[in-house]
Structure 1
Amino acid sequence: MSAGESLIATLPKTNGTSIPSMCRQGSVWLRQIPVTLLVSAIAIAAFAFPSLTAGLQLDFASVDSGQSWRLLSGHLTHFGGGHLFWDLLMFAVLGATCERQTPRFFPIALIAMSVGISATILFMCQNVTTYRGLSGIDTGLFVWFLANQIRQSVADRDRTFTCFWSAAGILLLAKLGYEFTTGEILFVNAEGFQPLVESHLSGAVLGAIIAGLAMFSTTRQTFSATK
């Protein structure tokens, strides 16, 4: 037995599962969320290289000149470390959850949310020249996640979690309503940039639409499989 094998043998096991087995399970889990990992990696790289940020940020003048990819890539850029950290933390958690549940539909949904939010800002925020951040997409993913949880809780006849997730949805609506009424963004430390309420509202609406489409697709597939 090698020194490495001896070390592994002495490591603690969790619930009867060895460390190598846990690593393999983790590897399998990561392979189930390739889109979430790719988007996260690009967002980190964009922050690390300012020239990349400049080339990816949503610059509406550049979009008008033909650089339409910025409607997608702008969401991967951020204004600072704190902005990146909180946006990416939410995206990684929610994105991984939604991607594992609907892996084929997830990239389509992500593209739709990105373009839809960008278009909303373009038409509703005439004075905005540049946009960065995943917060609008995060809001959409959160709505999608909540819809999934509520649907599953209702299907399981779990009143406790149905009430819990429904209350979370009501709190989100209250947050969005407050932001729309006051023009102020809650839970965001906006240093050096101006958060846009419109991106969150657009993300929420798109997230609800996507959740409905995902549920319809899942129901149809289940129905077809039982025929």
Structure 2
Amino acid sequence: MQYSSQFLSRKIVFIAACMSVSACLQIFAEHFIYWSTHLLDEFWRLWTGHWVHVGWIHYLLNMIAFACLPFIFPHAKVWHFVALLLLLPPAISLSFYYFLADIDAYAGLSGVLHGAYVAVACVHLLYKKERGFAALVLLLILSKLIWENTVGSLGTAELIGSPVLVEAHLLGVIWGVIFALAYIIWAYCIDPH
């Protein structure tokens, strides 16, 4: 019981810290958003561009999705989320920079969230009891990507007051799968049983 309450409190502190940092960055968003022209000179934008938002409603929506993630997958530890939050933002930002050069500016955590949900769900496919739920999460994310890339995301764009960059969601999913596979291979090499 003590382990589970300690585990729970670590997750709550982690979520509160991330939400606080994101809110602080939001106040000076112009210094932290992804700007392709400043990206390599102001390298912090590789990470911070994903933690600022186009407005407070956008911030709130992403933070709600972020706060749910650590609690719906029981085997994920705080260090797993920290690793994803360190790896996914620069991977997505550099993908914008090198492969989608027409994207000048970006703000928001949704690409990272898509990647984190997919990465954690892919790893949870290995756990028999969580396999069904993890598959459902992956199916829902795939359905969302198909919807956004065919029908569009007009309702969300109206709600946050800015166009939704669905490419960020797709890149997040791609990088999430890559990082999940790397983690699975690494974990298997350490303990092949």
TM-score (norm 1): 0.70
> In 2, distance between residues paired with 1:186 and 1:172?
17
Deviation at 1:98? 6.7
Deviation at 1:192? 2.7
Over residues 141-161 of structure 1, what are the superposed CA-to-partner deviations in whole Å (9 max), with x where a residue is unaligned?
Answer: 1112322332212xx5xxxx6
Q: 2:162 aligns with which of 168, 171, 193?
A: 193
* 1:58 equivalent in alignment to 2:34: yes
Question: In structure 2, what is the equivalent of residue 41 of structure 1?
Answer: 20
Could you say what secondary structure the match of 2:38 adopts? Answer: helix
> In 2, distance between residues paired with 1:97 and 1:78?
24
Deviation at 1:181? 3.5
Over residues 33-89 of structure 1, what are the superposed CA-to-partner deviations in whole Å (9 max), with x where a residue is unaligned?
Answer: 665443221111223x2xx2121111222224x101101111110111211111111
Q: Is the 8 A contact 1:58 1:73 kept in 2?
A: yes
Q: Is the 8 A contact 2:59 2:108 kept in 1?
A: yes
The verdict on how the C-alpha distance between 1:164 and 1:108 changes in structure 2, with shifts beyond 3 A counting, is closer
The verdict on how the C-alpha distance between 1:67 and 1:164 changes in structure 2, with shifts beyond 3 A counting, is closer
Question: In structure 1, what is the equivalent of residue 148 of structure 2?
Answer: 179
User: 5 Å matches for 1:10-21?
Assistant: none
Question: In structure 1, what is the equivalent of residue 177 of structure 2?
Answer: 208
Q: Looking at both structures, which has the greater relative contact order when contacts are Cα pairs under 8 Å and sequence separation is at least 6? A: 2
Deviation at 1:101? 2.3
TM-score (norm 2): 0.81
Q: Is the 8 A contact 2:36 2:105 kept in 1?
A: yes
Q: 1:116 aligns with which of 91, 100, 104?
A: 91
Aligned residues: 192
Q: 2:65 aligns with which of 85, 90, 100?
A: 90
Query: CA-atom RMSD, angstroms?
Result: 3.1
Q: Is the 8 A contact 1:57 1:130 kept in 2?
A: yes
| Identical-residue share of aligned pairs (%) | 22
Runs of 5+ in structure 2 lacking a partner? Answer: none
Deviation at 1:139? 0.3
2:166 aligned partner, one-letter code? V
Comparing 168-177 with 110-119, greater Cα deviation is found at: 168-177
* 1:169 equivalent in alignment to 2:138: yes
> In 1, distance between residues paired with 2:60 and 2:83?
25
Deviation at 1:122? 2.4
> In 1, distance between residues paired with 2:113 and 2:64?
9
Q: 2:124 aligns with which of 135, 145, 149?
A: 149
Higher gyration radius (CA): 1
Deviation at 1:213? 2.1
Q: Is the 8 A contact 1:102 1:214 kept in 2?
A: no
